[in-house]
Amino acid sequence: MQALREAAILLHDLVVILFSMAIVFHIYLGTVAEPGTFASMTRGTVSKAWARCTIRAGIERSRRGHGQGHRR
């Protein structure tokens, strides 16, 4: 029974470490890895070029029946 408890504690610790790393990596990808992302999140605006590209891609996806497309 003691061995099972020790294995459970070890597994828990490993999962906590991996989950913490995943959170940090997710934040990195959402901010530093994409130039201008952090400024867009803090200002609440995006560049015209980014909006054109993203909206066009969403409309095309919507026409093909994938995703929600552009919402109003």
- Kindly tell me if the per-residue pLDDT of 68 is higher than 70: no
Query: Whole-angstrom Cα distance, residue 54 to residue 48?
Result: 10
Neighbours of 60 (CB within 10 A): 12
Sorted by sequence, the CB contacts under 8 Å of residue 55 that are 6+ apart come out as 70
- pLDDT, one tens digit per residue, over 3-59 is 999 999 999 999 999 999 999 999 999 888 888 888 888 888 888 887 888 787 777
pTM: 0.58
- DSSP assignment of 14-69 equals HHHHHHHHHHHHHHHHHTTTSTTHHHHHHHS---HHHHHHHHHHHHHHHHTT-S--
